[in-house]
Amino acid sequence: MSTAIMRSAIDYIRDMRNHASAAHPNHNEITGLQLASWLETCIQEVIGKEPEGAVIEVKKL
Write phi, then psi, for 14 (nearest 5 degrees).
-65, -45
Each residue of 6-44: pLDDT tens digit? 888 889 888 888 887 777 677 777 888 998 999 999 898
For 21, which DSSP code? Answer: S
Distance CA 26, CA 17 (A): 12
Q: Which residues contact 26 (CB under 8 A, 6 or more apart)?
A: 19, 20
> Is 70 exceeded by the pLDDT of residue 60?
no
pTM over 0.75: no
Q: What is the residue extent of each domain of the chain?
A: 3-59
pLDDT value of residue 33: 94
